[in-house]
C-alpha cells in the first residue's frame, strides 16, 4: 500500500471491516508530512458520517503523538463552533477530517483556492456508501472542484467489500481515469445463523416482539452485542421490550440518528470504554466506528441487502482471523425467507451492488452557485469541471446551459420582469452572486438530504426547565394531545405542549405510549435478494433449512391458496376491512410495483372499480378498492395498450412526481429547506412546492426543473418502456384466486401501512357518504328562488 499509492492518481482500497484500512489510508500522508513538514492543508479526509470524523480523529491522534510527529489534525463538521471554523480558514491544519457538506461549504469561500491550493491527498472513507445516490453525486462534484484547485491531488478511496469493484473505481477517479484497485480478501466467512425460536412467530408485523426473550438470552451469553434494527421506531420499541426483559439489569443502550448529539456522544464513549453489554441501533452505527470488542451482531427484521448485512455483521469482532458472529431475527414469517436467502448468498460469496446512475441534475444549480460564491464563474470552465465528475460525464451542454440559466434568473419562459437575478455578470464571461443575501441563502442550504420538518424534544424536569434530548418529526408531534405518552430516547414521556417550536414532555409511567414514526426509515430490498427469495420459494426441497414454523406457514399457503411461481402472476382477492383487496405477487421489486400500482389503479378508476389506495412491498402490490375484480377485468387490467401519451401526461400529475419535485426544489435552490429554529408560530407563510409544480406545469411546461423532476422520479420508478415489457410478459399469465379472507402469505403485505391514496371516484364516494347535510335540498330551493331573478 505504502509503495503503491504515491504513483497513482487514484487508488481504491477494498478491505473487509477490521482490516485497519482507514489508518492505512492515512499512512502515505503521515509519511510524506514527516519527511516534508509544511504549513497548510495537506490531506483532506471525507466521511459520510459526522461521528466517524470524531472517531478517526481519536484513533489518528494517538499514533501520531506516540511517534512524536509534528502534524496538526482537526475535524470540521456542522457541529464545529464558528470561532474554530474561522481559525481553520485562516490557518488550516495539515490533516482535516470532514464531511462532503462541510467540504462544499468551504469550497464556497472566497479563499477556497488558498485553503486547498496545496492539497496533496483526499481520502474518501466508506466510498461504497456513496455510489448511486445523490450524496455521492454531490461528493464527486466537490472532488472535481478540488482537483481544479489542486491538479496533482491524489484520491484514495476506502471501501468495504463490493460486488463489482471496477464500478466503484470508475466513480472514484476523474472521468475516464478509474482508480487503481487494491483488494484485501476476507480470510474467514462470518458465522451467520437464523433464530429458530420456540415462541410463536407472527405472520405479519415488523417489531419481533415474539423473539425478545431469545434475543435477551443471546445478549447475556455473548458479552458485547450490537442489535441492529431497520428503523428508528423499531429501535425505540425493541429497546423498551429488551428492558422489560432485562431481569439481570444488563447495561443496554439505545442509538439512532434522532437522538441529540450529546446523547449519542455519551453512548459512543460508554461503548468505547467497554461499559455497555448491548446497543440497540439503526444504520447510524453501521459505518466505520471501531468499537474494538463486539462479540455478536443481532439483526432484527429482514436484512434487505447482502452487502448491507455484511457491513453490519462486520461490526462484530474486529479481528481478521476469527469469524464474525451474527444472528438474524426475522420479524415475521415472510422475512424468514429473506433471512435464509441472505445466509445462502453469504455462504456462496455473492454480493448485491447498486449500479452507478447518471448524476442527479438538481445538484448542478447548487454546484454552480457554490462555484460562483467563491469566485466569478465562467460557464465554460464550470461545465468542464462538471464533466470531470464521473456521474456527470454525459451531461450535454444544452442541459447544462438551461441549468445555468435557472441558477441565474430562474430560467422561466414567461418572465414578467427580470429585476431579481441570483447571478449577475461580473465581466464579459463570468458571473457572480447578485447580493450577499444570495450567498448567505445558498450557504445555509448546502447538501442533498431533504428532511421532513422536525421539532426538538425537551425533557422537562420542573417548570420549563429541562434539556433537549433529540428530535421528532413535525407530523408526529402534531397528532399528540396533552396527556399522550410516547417512547423516546428509551423512556416513556408524557406530552405537555409545543412551545417555541419544541415539544415539551415529562418523564412518565404507563399509558399506551405511541412510537414516533420517521419518514424515509424504510430500507429498499435489493433486487438481487428479491430474486433469491423467489427462487427459494419455488423450490420446496429447499424449505427444510427454514424454521419449522415458516415451513408450516408455506404449507398452509399451499393449502389455502397457492405458492406464487415464476410462470404465473398470482392474484389473490379478498375482503379486508370493508375493502376489496387485490394482491399481485409480482416479485418485481418496489420500483416496478410502485409504477404498476399507479398504472393499475388508473385503469381500475376508468373501469369504475373505485380504487382507494395501494401499497407496495418488494414482493407484491396490494390494491384496495370498493368493487371486486372478475376474470375478464383482470385481462383488461394487464392489457399493454394504454401506455400512450395520456399515461405520460397522467404520470406528470402523479403524487410520486410531486414528491420528487419537493426534493428537486430544495436541492436545486428553488425553495429552502424549512428549518424550524428560524420560524415562529404563524405557519402559513410557507407554502407547498406542489403549488409551484402545478403552476409550472400549466404556464411553463418546458421548464428545465420539470425535466429534472421526471428524471429524478425515474430513479424511484420504473420507466415506461420497461413497464411495457413487464406487462407484455404478464399477458395471459395471470391467475386470479378469490378467497374468503387474507391468505397466510398476504398478511405482511396487507399489513404494510404505508399506502398510496388514489384520487378519484372511490374517494369521492366515501367522502360523500360522510356528508351529513341532509337539509341541503331545502337550502337549495331557497337558493334557486333567490337566483331566479338574476339573469
Partner 1 sequence: MAVSNSEWLSEKLRQAQIVAMRFADKTWLLDARGVAYLPHKDLLVVSDLHFEKGSYLGHYGNPIPHLDTRATLSRLNRIVEDYNPGTLMCLGDSFHDARGVERMARDDLNTLTQLISRIDCWQWILGNHDPQIPEQLAGERLHRTQIDSIGFCHEPEPDWPQCQYQVIGHFHPKVKCRVGRYPVKGRCFVMGDKYFVMPAFGQYTGGLWIDHEVMQPLVPKASRRCFVMQDERIFAV
Which residues lie near partner 1 (CB under 8 A)?
Answer: 406-407, 409-410, 412, 414-417, 419-420, 422, 434-435, 437-438, 441-442, 478, 577, 579, 612-613, 669-672, 681-688, 691-692, 695-696, 698-700, 703, 757, 759, 763-764, 766-773, 776, 779-780, 782-784, 786-788, 790-791
* Closer residue to partner 1 in complex, CB, 34/432: 432
Least distance (Å) between residue 330 CB and partner 1: 29
Least distance (Å) between residue 372 CB and partner 1: 12
**In whole angstroms, what is the distance from residue 593 CA to residue 618 CA?**
7
* Closer residue to partner 1 in complex, CB, 645/777: 777
* Closer residue to partner 1 in complex, CB, 82/684: 684
**In whole angstroms, what is the distance from residue 144 CA to residue 172 CA?**
11
Least distance (Å) between residue 766 CB and partner 1: 5
Least distance (Å) between residue 99 CB and partner 1: 25
* Closer residue to partner 1 in complex, CB, 211/408: 408
Cell numbers standing for residue 637: 387490467
Least distance (Å) between residue 686 CB and partner 1: 5
**In whole angstroms, what is the distance from residue 182 CA to residue 531 CA?**
30
SS3 53: helix
* Closer residue to partner 1 in complex, CB, 70/416: 416
**In whole angstroms, what is the distance from residue 524 CA to residue 618 CA?**
8
Under 8 Å CB-to-CB from 354, ≥6 apart: which residues? 131, 132, 526
Q: How far is CA 414 from the centre of its chain?
A: 36
SS3 292: coil
Least distance (Å) between residue 105 CB and partner 1: 17
Least distance (Å) between residue 410 CB and partner 1: 4
* Closer residue to partner 1 in complex, CB, 450/492: 450
Residue that has been written with the C-alpha cell 441487502 in this structure: 305
Q: Tell the burial category of 445 from Cβ atoms under 10 Å away from its Cβ (0-12, 13-18, 19+).
A: middle
Residue that has been written with the C-alpha cell 396527556 in this structure: 483
Least distance (Å) between residue 699 CB and partner 1: 5
* Closer residue to partner 1 in complex, CB, 347/679: 679
* Closer residue to partner 1 in complex, CB, 23/763: 763
Residue 610 zone, left/alpha/beta (φ > 0; ψ -120 to 50; rest)? left
Under 8 Å CB-to-CB from 699, ≥6 apart: which residues? 414
**In whole angstroms, what is the distance from residue 457 CA to residue 467 CA?**
8
* Closer residue to partner 1 in complex, CB, 384/435: 435
Q: Which helix (H) or strand (E) holds 505?
A: strand 502-507
Is the separation of the CB atoms in 648 and 631 below 8 Å?
A: no
Least distance (Å) between residue 362 CB and partner 1: 13
* Closer residue to partner 1 in complex, CB, 435/545: 435
Written as one string, the DSSP assignment of 78-146 is TTS-HHHHHHHHHS--SEEEE-HHHHHHHHTSTTHHHHHTT--EEEETTGGGGTTSHHHHHHHHHHHHH
Strand partners, 462: 465
Least distance (Å) between residue 462 CB and partner 1: 23
Amino acid at each position: 500500500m505504502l509503495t503503491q499509492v504515491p504513483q497513482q492518481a487514484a487508488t481504491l482500497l477494498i478491505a473487509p471491516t477490521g482490516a485497519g484500512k482507514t489508518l492505512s489510508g492515512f499512512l502515505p500522508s503521515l509519511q510524506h508530512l514527516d519527511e516534508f513538514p509544511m504549513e497548510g492543508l495537506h490531506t483532506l479526509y471525507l466521511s459520510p458520517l459526522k461521528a466517524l470524523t470524531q472517531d478517526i480523529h481519536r484513533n489518528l491522534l494517538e499514533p501520531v503523538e506516540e511517534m512524536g510527529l509534528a502534524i496538526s489534525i482537526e475535524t470540521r463538521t456542522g457541529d464545529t463552533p464558528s470561532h474554530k471554523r474561522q481559525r481553520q480558514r485562516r490557518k488550516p491544519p495539515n490533516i482535516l477530517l470532514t464531511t462532503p457538506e462541510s467540504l462544499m461549504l468551504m469550497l464556497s469561500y472566497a479563499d477556497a483556492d488558498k485553503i486547498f491550493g496545496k492539497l496533496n491527498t483526499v481520502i474518501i472513507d466508506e466510498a461504497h456508501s456513496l455510489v448511486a445516490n445523490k450524496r455521492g453525486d454531490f461528493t464527486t462534484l466537490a472532488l472535481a472542484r478540488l482537483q481544479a484547485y489542486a491538479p496533482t491531488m491524489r484520491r484514495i478511496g476506502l471501501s468495504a467489500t463490493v460486488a463489482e469493484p471496477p464500478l466503484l473505481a470508475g466513480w472514484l477517479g476523474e472521468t475516464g481515469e478509474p482508480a487503481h484497485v487494491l483488494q484485501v480478501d476476507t480470510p474467514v466467512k462470518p458465522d451467520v445463523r437464523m433464530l429458530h425460536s420456540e415462541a410463536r412467530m407472527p405472520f405479519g408485523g415488523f417489531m419481533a416482539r415474539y423473539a425478545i426473550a431469545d434475543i435477551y438470552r443471546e445478549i447475556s451469553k455473548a458479552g458485547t452485542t450490537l442489535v441492529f434494527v431497520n428503523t428508528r421506531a423499531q429501535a425505540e420499541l425493541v429497546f423498551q421490550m429488551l428492558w422489560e426483559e432485562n431481569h439481570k439489569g444488563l447495561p443496554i443502550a439505545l442509538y439512532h440518528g434522532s437522538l441529540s448529539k450529546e446523547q449519542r456522544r455519551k453512548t459512543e464513549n460508554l461503548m468505547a470504554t467497554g461499559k455497555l453489554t448491548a446497543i440497540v441501533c439503526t444504520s447510524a452505527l453501521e459505518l466505520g466506528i471501531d468499537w474494538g470488542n463486539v462479540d455478536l451482531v443481532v439483526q432484527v427484521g429482514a436484512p434487505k441487502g447482502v452487502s448491507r448485512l455484511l457491513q453490519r455483521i462486520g461490526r462484530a469482532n474486529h479481528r481478521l482471523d476469527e469469524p464474525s458472529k451474527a444472528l438474524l431475527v426475522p420479524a415475521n414469517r415472510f422475512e424468514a425467507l429473506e433471512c435464509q436467502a441472505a445466509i445462502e448468498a453469504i455462504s456462496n460469496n455473492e454480493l448485491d451492488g447498486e449500479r452507478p446512475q447518471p448524476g442527479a441534475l438538481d445538484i448542478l444549480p447548487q454546484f454552480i452557485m457554490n462555484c460562483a460564491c467563491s469566485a466569478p464563474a465562467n460557464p465554460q470552465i464550470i461545465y468542464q469541471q462538471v464533466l470531470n465528475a464521473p456521474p456527470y460525464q454525459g451531461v450535454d451542454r444544452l442541459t447544462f446551459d438551461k441549468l445555468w440559466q435557472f441558477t441565474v434568473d430562474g430560467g422561466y419562459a414567461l418572465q414578467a420582469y427580470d429585476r431579481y437575478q441570483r447571478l449577475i455578470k461580473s465581466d464579459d464571461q463570468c458571473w457572480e452572486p447578485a447580493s450577499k443575501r444570495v450567498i448567505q441563502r445558498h450557504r445555509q442550504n448546502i447538501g442533498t438530504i431533504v428532511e421532513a420538518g422536525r421539532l426538538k424534544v425537551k425533557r422537562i424536569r420542573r417548570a420549563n426547565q429541562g434539556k433537549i434530548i433529540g428530535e421528532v418529526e413535525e407530523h408526529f408531534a402534531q397528532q399528540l394531545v396533552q396527556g399522550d405518552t410516547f417512547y423516546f430516547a428509551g423512556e416513556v414521556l408524557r406530552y405537555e405542549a409545543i412551545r417555541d417550536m419544541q415539544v415539551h414532555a415529562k418523564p412518565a409511567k404507563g399509558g399506551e405510549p405511541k412510537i414516533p414514526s420517521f419518514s424515509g426509515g424504510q430500507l429498499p430490498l435489493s433486487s438481487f435478494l428479491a430474486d433469491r427469495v423467489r427462487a427459494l420459494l419455488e423450490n420446496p426441497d429447499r424449505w427444510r433449512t427454514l424454521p419449522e414454523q415458516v415451513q408450516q406457514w408455506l404449507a398452509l399457503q399451499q393449502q389455502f391458496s397457492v405458492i406464487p411461481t415464476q410462470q404465473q402472476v398470482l392474484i389473490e382477492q379478498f375482503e379486508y376491512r370493508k375493502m376489496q383487496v387485490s394482491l399481485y405477487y409480482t416479485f418485481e421489486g418496489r420500483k416496478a410495483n410502485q409504477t404498476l400500482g399507479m398504472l393499475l389503479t388508473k385503469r381500475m378508476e376508468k373501469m369504475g372499480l373505485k380504487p382507494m389506495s395501494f401499497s407496495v412491498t418488494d414482493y407484491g402490490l396490494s390494491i384496495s378498492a370498493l368493487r371486486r375484480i372478475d376474470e375478464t377485468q383482470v385481462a383488461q387490467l394487464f392489457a399493454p395498450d394504454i401506455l400512450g401519451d395520456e399515461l405520460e401526461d397522467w404520470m406528470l400529475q402523479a403524487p410520486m412526481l410531486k414528491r420528487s419535485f419537493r426534493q428537486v426544489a430544495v436541492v436545486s435552490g428553488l425553495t429552502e429547506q424549512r428549518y424550524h429554529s428560524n420560524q415562529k408560530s404563524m405557519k402559513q407563510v410557507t407554502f407547498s412546492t406542489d403549488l409551484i409544480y402545478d403552476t409550472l406545469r400549466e404556464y411553463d411546461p418546458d421548464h428545465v426543473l420539470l425535466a429534472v423532476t421526471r428524471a429524478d422520479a425515474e430513479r424511484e420508478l420504473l420507466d415506461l418502456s420497461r413497464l411495457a415489457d413487464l406487462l407484455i410478459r404478464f399477458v395471459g399469465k395471470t391467475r386470479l384466486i378469490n378467497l374468503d379472507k387474507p391468505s397466510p402469505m398476504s398478511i405482511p403485505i396487507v399489513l404494510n401501512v404505508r399506502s398510496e391514496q388514489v384520487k378519484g371516484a372511490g374517494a369521492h364516494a366515501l367522502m360523500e357518504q360522510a356528508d351529513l347535510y341532509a337539509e341541503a335540498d331545502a337550502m337549495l330551493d331557497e337558493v334557486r328562488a333567490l337566483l331566479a331573478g338574476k339573469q
